Amino acid sequence: MSGHVLITGAASGIGAAIAADLSARGWQVSATDLRADLLERLRADLHARSGAAPRVRAGDLADPDFAEEVVADAWSARPLDALVNAAGIYPARPLLEMTADAWDRVMAVNVRAPMLTTVALARHATAEDRTAAVVNITSGAALRARPGAAHYCTSKAALTMSTKACALELGTHGIRVNAVSPGFVQVDSTANPVTQEYAAAVSPNPLGRIGLPGDLLGAVRFLLSGDANWITGAVLDVDGGSAAGTTELPLHWAGESAAQNGTTRPQAAG
């Protein structure tokens, strides 16, 4: 399957990898990000690789007007078949230093923007009786709190529920809304930097290696494709098994107690 896809947060990291992958497979890409210089680099890179330059528009998705306008701008070139909401911010702020502004900005970018872009897409699609597919990039942090990330973890939990809520209401219009939930993915982002110490602490998983942006591409392609045409409201973990549990804990006890292995016999009362 191919078509016209809008990708948010497309200038680097996971968003850029998705843009390059879909472009190489024949998709027409429209891309948005806060960083105009990196968007131009993406445009030039994809043009050099595939001969097709993506439509790019820089702006701040925390601005609700821009979140809706970028969909309208992409649609004006060609109706959209898909939307990938990959934009997100991951600031570090201890809870005792949290402010309303810091909390609100994370919620605006990570939760409100994908909801607004999805709604904007749905309005255009339903007006023209078209179907579409949406993939949100959420996080395992939706289920596991982390120090200094109360706003981020809460936003990803909200994005997971927003995915389900949008799927519920848009399904009858032929618009599917799903999510991919990555584990720790090494992207070397200047927008969302992390220390090596943090990466080492958060990345252990059953498959034993740090994730890379390329690890998510098959899941995104699948959820956008006709092979997933009866899937909506789903959250697909792509995390090396992190959601299954942690590999970093020792056995909680050496062996079994007599009560656990059945060698202790019941005693009569009195």
Chain-centroid distance of CA 54 in Å reads: 21
Question: What topology is assigned to 4-261 in CATH?
Answer: Rossmann fold (3.40.50)
The two three-digit tokens of residue 134, written as one number: 């949406």
Q: What is the pairing mode between strands 175-182 and 235-238?
A: parallel
Q: What is the pLDDT of residues 6-37, one digit of tens each?
A: 999 999 999 999 999 999 999 999 999 999 99
Given this model, what pLDDT does residue 156 score? Answer: 98
Output helix, strand, coil percentages for the chain, rounded to the nearest 5. Answer: 45, 15, 40
The two three-digit tokens of residue 234, written as one number: 């789903």
* H/E run at residue 125: helix 113-127
Q: Beta strands of 105-251 (E only): which ranges?
A: 132-137, 175-182, 235-238
Given this model, what pLDDT does residue 264 score? Answer: 81
User: Token pair 């949406």 is at which residue?
Assistant: 134
Mean pLDDT of 220-242: 97
Burial of 174: CB neighbours in 10 Å, binned 0-12, 13-18, 19+: middle
Helix pair 217-224, 13-24: axis angle to 10 deg:
60
Given this model, what pLDDT does residue 260 score? Answer: 77
Residues marked active site are found at 152
Q: Where are the domains of the chain?
A: 4-261
